[in-house]
């Protein structure tokens, strides 16, 4: 009910001119006061008194009689104040819920890593060729960001009152304060979440994918929505943060993604058969791209050549 309409109704109540239907409406509004936590300073005794005066204004067969004008003025002022407060609270809540949140996109270009400090002092390390969408300020209820693509390590500032959520595709990782890594390359079929400290909860749009503790990893298939939970020994999944590249039994596609992003090159494969081989490698940050492709030639026996920023494989 609009505030103007409530005002008119209370003026009629004050003058003792409410119809039976209007008194029923006033009863309904008073019922809202009984259940609304924002009803303000009106005590239970005062509410009962207002109820009694409303009932007293209704006589048999719906006849209306006059009441004490002074008391009605006090009651009307109180009711107007309370109803206005309720309207303000509802308008404010709707405004907060519908408020447009301003975001910015932070990117780490190919060949570079970037450190980002979020509004709550959470620190994010972005791997090369990664992008993050973050609000200019977090809401009072939650801290919510989006990993658009790539890989990021999150060292989350603890805040028990506001959970921290990272959305990557249709997978959401939720924590209060912990550190974890998310790998979300659009070129790869799987998303990975690795917990370094604390505890995280992971879910997609329909199911919970479990709770994860330090040393545990989630591998989520983006196509068929299946997932695997496993324990990882060592911290090689975070080697990229220390300017090393340690890959354990990864596909050729994953190997290429890392090398392309680190060295800002592009791979072209001219062979007819898809490369099925898996790789376990360790590349120091001191290696040049020429040294890396020489190592790959020795591993799989194919011919690699570099021209400009294009690596051709035959």
pLDDT band at 99 (very low <50, low <70, confident <90, very high): low
Higher per-residue pLDDT: 291 or 32: 291
Which of 143, 149, 117, 113 has the alpha carbon at shortest distance from 131?
Answer: 149
C-alpha 238/C-alpha 228 separation (Å) is 19
pLDDT at residue 61 greater than cutoff 60: no
Q: Could you give all domains of the chain from N- to C-terminal order, each with its CATH number?
A: 3-98 (no CATH), 103-236 (2.60.120.1440), 243-313 (3.55.50.30)
As a whole number, mean pLDDT of residues 92-114 equals 78
pLDDT at residue 2 greater than cutoff 50: yes
CB atoms within 10 A of CB 100: 5
Which range among 50-54, 131-135, 167-171, 194-198 shows the weakest confidence by mean pLDDT? Answer: 50-54
Per-residue DSSP letters for the chain?
Answer: --HHHHHHHHHHHHHT---HHHHHHHHHHHHHHHH-TT-TT--HHHHHHHHHHHHHTB-GGG-B----HHHHHHHHHHHHHHHHHHHHHHHHHHHHHHPPPPEEEEEE-TT--EEEE-TTS-EEEEPTTEEEEEESS--SS-EEEEEEEEEEEEEPPP-TTS-EEEEETTEEEEESS-EEEEEE-TTSSEEEEEEEES-EEEE-SS-EEEEE-TTEEEEEETTT--EEEEE--SSGGGGGGGTEEEEEEEEHHHHHHHHHHHHT-EEEE--SS----EEEEEEETT--HHHHHHHHHHHH---EEEETTEEEE-
pLDDT at residue 281 greater than cutoff 60: yes
**pLDDT for the residue 22:** 73
pLDDT at residue 92 greater than cutoff 80: no
pTM of the model: 0.69
Cβ contacts of 236 within 8 Å, gap of 6 or more: 246, 247, 248
**pLDDT for the residue 82:** 55
pLDDT at residue 107 greater than cutoff 80: yes
pLDDT at residue 313 greater than cutoff 60: yes
pLDDT band at 133 (very low <50, low <70, confident <90, very high): very high
As a whole number, mean pLDDT of residues 150-172 equals 96
């Amino acid at each position: 009910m609009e505030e103007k309409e409530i005002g008119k109704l209370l003026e009629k109540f004050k003058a003792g001119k409410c119809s039976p239907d209007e008194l029923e409406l006033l009863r309904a509004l008073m019922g809202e006061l009984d259940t609304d936590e924002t009803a303000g300073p009106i005590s239970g005794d005062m509410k009962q008194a207002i109820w009694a005066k409303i009932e007293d204004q209704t006589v048999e067969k719906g006849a209306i009689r006059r009441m004490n004008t002074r008391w009605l003025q006090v009651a009307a002022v109180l009711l107007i104040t309370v109803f206005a407060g309720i309207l303000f609270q509802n308008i404010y809540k709707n405004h907060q819920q519908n408020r447009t949140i301003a975001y910015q996109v932070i990117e780490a270009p190919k060949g570079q890593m970037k450190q980002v400090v979020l509004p709550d002092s959470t620190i994010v390390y972005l791997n090369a060729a990664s992008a993050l969408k973050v609000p200019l300020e977090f809401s009072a209820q939650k801290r919510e960001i989006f990993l658009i693509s790539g890989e990021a390590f999150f060292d989350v500032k603890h805040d028990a009152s506001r959970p921290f959520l990272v959305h990557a595709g249709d997978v959401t990782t939720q924590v209060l304060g912990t550190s974890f890594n998310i790998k979300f390359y659009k070129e790869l079929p799987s998303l990975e979440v690795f917990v370094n400290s604390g505890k995280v909860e992971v879910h997609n749009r329909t199911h919970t994918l479990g709770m994860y503790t330090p040393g545990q990893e989630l591998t989520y298939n983006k196509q068929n929505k299946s997932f695997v939970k496993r324990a990882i020994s060592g911290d090689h999944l975070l080697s990229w943060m220390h300017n090393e590249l340690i890959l354990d039994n990864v596909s050729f596609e994953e190997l290429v993604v890392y090398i392309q992003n680190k060295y800002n090159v592009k791979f072209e494969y001219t062979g007819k058969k898809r490369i099925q081989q898996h790789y376990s490698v360790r590349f120091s940050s001191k290696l040049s791209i020429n040294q890396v492709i020489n190592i790959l030639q020795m591993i799989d026996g194919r011919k690699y050549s570099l021209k400009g920023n294009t690596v051709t494989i035959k």
